[in-house]
Structure 1
Amino acid sequence: MAITKKQRIAMAVIVLVGLLAGGGLLLTERHKTGEAAEQAEAAGHAHKEGDGDDKKAASASKEAHEEHEERSVKLTEDQVKKAGIAVQVAGPAKLQAAAEFTGEIRFNEDRTAHVVPRMAGVAEQVVANLGQSVRKGEVLAVIASNSLSEQRSELLTAQERRDAARVTYEREKKLWQEKISAEQDYLQAQSALREADIAVRNATQKLAAVGATGSSVNLNRFELRAPFDGTVVEKHLALGEAVKEDASIFTVSDLRTVWAEFNVAPKDLATVRVGQRVSVSSTAFESKVQGTISYVGALLGEQTRTARARVTLTNPDGAWRPGLFVTVSVYGENQDVALTVPADAVQTIENQTMVFKAVSGGFEALPVKVGRSDGRVAEVVSGLKAGDQVASKNTFVLKSELGKASAGHEH
């Protein structure tokens, strides 16, 4: 049977529709498969990211725990008592406002002497060395001086004349009393003895004025001695060197006290007064010393247009060396501060300002930000809250123990 043209067209349409339907199904399946794969991949990424976040969180928690351990100092109550560590509650207090000035440590000029020979001559011995501690009256150098020789000769001559005048006086006095000689001879002998006494005293005082004694085997030997206990801070003399009578050959200073000097601008003169309490500190070391202003200049410097102020500091250990730059905090009126700790509670550890908070089993070093301080209490700006108990005395013990713990942890 022959297939008509219409039948062939109908069959072609049916085949075409079937092919289109099959391709659509295939695309749909591929699309679904792709979506499923994408979802699976996204789920895998999410799982990985979740694992990463968990690891990061675990790592951060571990680091925080280690940091907490590194800042902890384990001490029993008995150990705390034996170390003399006191605990105080952080809270409000009155704090003296302080104005800070830059200053410098200088010699106490009231206890500093420029030693001059007062007699020209040549150095025969140089006993003292630079930096040597000397006692009052100790020989610094020996100088041979012709001028001294002449003065001692003058004294010896005056003493001989006085002795002769005394013999004459005693003889004339006896003769006058026995009515053998005239009273005039007795009075002349008496006058001569008085003149001889004056000559001896004059020669003796000349020697005393230059620090020399009248008795010496060598008439020209001059012993230069320390005026007081101190340290030789300058030396300008060598063996065999000729010196003038006014040459400053030694400088001796008593370094047990020094001056902290600073300049005060005219606007601050109303707040800087003699007797005011100050605190002196230096960036060279952690030590801080309290004192009072002993002098404020009445005149302004021509160059600086500032007044010179001074604090006299005791310096038993010699830590405050002349030439050291310092900060002088001058305290004024009391002010109410919301959160403070004792000044001794604050320690600097690895360039961080910290306090030791009392915790169970010991102390924990907490980084804090401090503000004003008057040497007795320090303002806490952040890092601590009112009511926290902190170590307030002998905190250097805790700092030392923390350093040992850190060193052990590193090993």
Structure 2
Amino acid sequence: MFKTVHIAVFLLALSAAGWASDDHHHEEDHHEEGHHDESVVELSDTTLARAGVAVATAGARAIESTITLYGKLQPEPTAISHIRARYPGLVSRIAVSIGDPVKKGQLLASINSNESLQEYTLRAPFDGVVIEKHAGPGEFVSEQVLFTVADYSKLWADLQAFPERLGRVQRGQPVEIIAGEQSYRGAIGNLVPAANGAPFRRVRVPLDNHNGSWSSGIFVRGRVTVDEKPVAIAIDNRALQTLEGEPVIFVETRPNHFEARPVRLGLRGSEFSEVLGGIQAGERYVAENSYLIKAELKKSAAGHAH
């Protein structure tokens, strides 16, 4: 009887220990499964570099309020010269072609005058480019335009400001002129009325074009900074993504680890936005190509759901 009781107690203890061990393993398994944080993405340095992911630091910044105006690039009116024959005669020499750069005083053509029977010359009035030519050797010319020379080293962005925006535009305000991938930072030089009573004013922005990278006549947009307000914490607008209908950014919690974190936004600018909650000054976040981190997070979440 004694042995029977001891065996029963031993089996009971062993069974209890076994169940406890199984419960412990179940608890460990559950803990391991719950250890994955579905709001965090881990990516290698190679993957980040290949994806072009750029990280920035949240901090104080002036938030710019901007408006966009549209127009086109024009040369300065006095920078275009129409060069005529001074006296009737025969063209004896043409020294330039369309598209040639010329220096002030450079020979354009020689003409034999019918009146004096002497040769006179036509020369460039300033540094520029020959954009028109209407004469050839041996041609009789009178008072017509033979050459047009233009100086495109300085252009003007001629933008249109309609009444609803005109009150916010002032001389001296910073302007970014944009055409495709090109941009130029300048300031409003002057505001002038439009011709023929048109219902807008011309907002003119001088543009330095000594390198010749801008072309006269192209359409541009001008992003005018009309106000600035300093804020304690700002982030790049490219960082903002949406998850479950809420704005989030991806904060670098440790190297190669990015956490999707909801943010509360304040003042919105054209390039940066104020953050009232969700990130602290000095924290690093994904500023460029953040949508790739979002895609990786969704892919990871879908994988764990299965």
Fold similarity call, TM over 0.5: yes
Q: Residues 63 and 274 of structure 2 are in contact (CA less than 8 Å); yes or no, is this contact kept in structure 1?
A: no
Q: 1:221 to 1:378 in 2, by over 3 A?
A: farther
Q: Residues 356 and 363 of structure 1 are in contact (CA less than 8 Å); yes or no, is this contact kept in structure 2?
A: no
Q: Residues 103 and 326 of structure 1 are in contact (CA less than 8 Å); yes or no, is this contact kept in structure 2?
A: yes
What secondary structure, in the 3-state scheme, does the structure 2 residue paired with 1:122 have?
Answer: strand
What secondary structure, in the 3-state scheme, does the structure 1 residue paired with 2:164 have?
Answer: helix
| Alignment correspondent of 1:293 | 188
TM-score (norm 1): 0.47
| Alignment correspondent of 1:244 | 142
Shift of residue 290 of structure 1?
1.1
Cα RMSD after superposing both structures: 4.0
| Alignment correspondent of 2:11 | none
Alignment of 1:321-400 (within 5 A): 321-335=215-229, 340-341=234-235, 372-373=269-270, 378-379=272-273, 387-389=282-284
Pick from 230, 242, 252 the counterpart of residue 128 of structure 2.
230
Alignment of 1:55-94 (within 5 A): 69-72=46-49, 89-94=57-62
- For residues 138 and 101 of structure 2, the distance between their equivalents in structure 1, rounded to whole angstroms, comes to 23
- For residues 131 and 356 of structure 1, the distance between their equivalents in structure 2, rounded to whole angstroms, comes to 52
Quick one: percent identity of the two aligned structures? 29
Q: 1:227 to 1:72 in 2, by over 3 A?
A: same
Shift of residue 390 of structure 1?
6.4
Quick check: 1:268 aligned with 2:179?
Answer: no
Q: Deviations over 1:143-198 (max 9, x none)?
A: 22223x1xxxxxxxxxxxxxxxxxxxxxxxxxxxxxxxxxxxxxxxxxxxxxxxxx
Shift of residue 67 of structure 1?
9.6
Q: Residues 73 and 363 of structure 1 are in contact (CA less than 8 Å); yes or no, is this contact kept in structure 2?
A: no
Q: Deviations over 1:76-102 (max 9, x none)?
A: xxxxxxxxxx98522342222111101
- For residues 110 and 250 of structure 2, the distance between their equivalents in structure 1, rounded to whole angstroms, comes to 60
Q: Deviations over 1:186-236 (max 9, x none)?
A: xxxxxxxxxxxxxxxxxxxxxxxxxxxxxxxxx521211001111112222
- For residues 191 and 176 of structure 2, the distance between their equivalents in structure 1, rounded to whole angstroms, comes to 16
Shift of residue 264 of structure 1?
1.6
TM-score (norm 2): 0.61
Unaligned residue ranges in structure 2 (runs of 5+): 1-37, 240-248, 261-267, 289-306
Shift of residue 125 of structure 1?
1.4
Give the residue type in structure 2 aligned to 1:96.
Answer: E
Give the residue type in structure 2 aligned to 1:389.
Answer: R
Structure with a larger share of its residues in helix? 1
Unaligned residue ranges in structure 1 (runs of 5+): 1-60, 75-85, 150-218, 347-354, 396-411
- For residues 274 and 138 of structure 2, the distance between their equivalents in structure 1, rounded to whole angstroms, comes to 64
What secondary structure, in the 3-state scheme, does the structure 1 residue paired with 2:269 have?
Answer: strand
Shift of residue 128 of structure 1?
1.0
Quick check: 1:318 aligned with 2:286?
Answer: no
Quick check: 1:125 aligned with 2:93?
Answer: yes
What secondary structure, in the 3-state scheme, does the structure 2 residue paired with 1:321 have?
Answer: coil
Q: 1:331 to 1:360 in 2, by over 3 A?
A: same
Quick check: 1:255 aligned with 2:152?
Answer: yes
Shift of residue 337 of structure 1?
5.7
Quick check: 1:139 aligned with 2:107?
Answer: yes
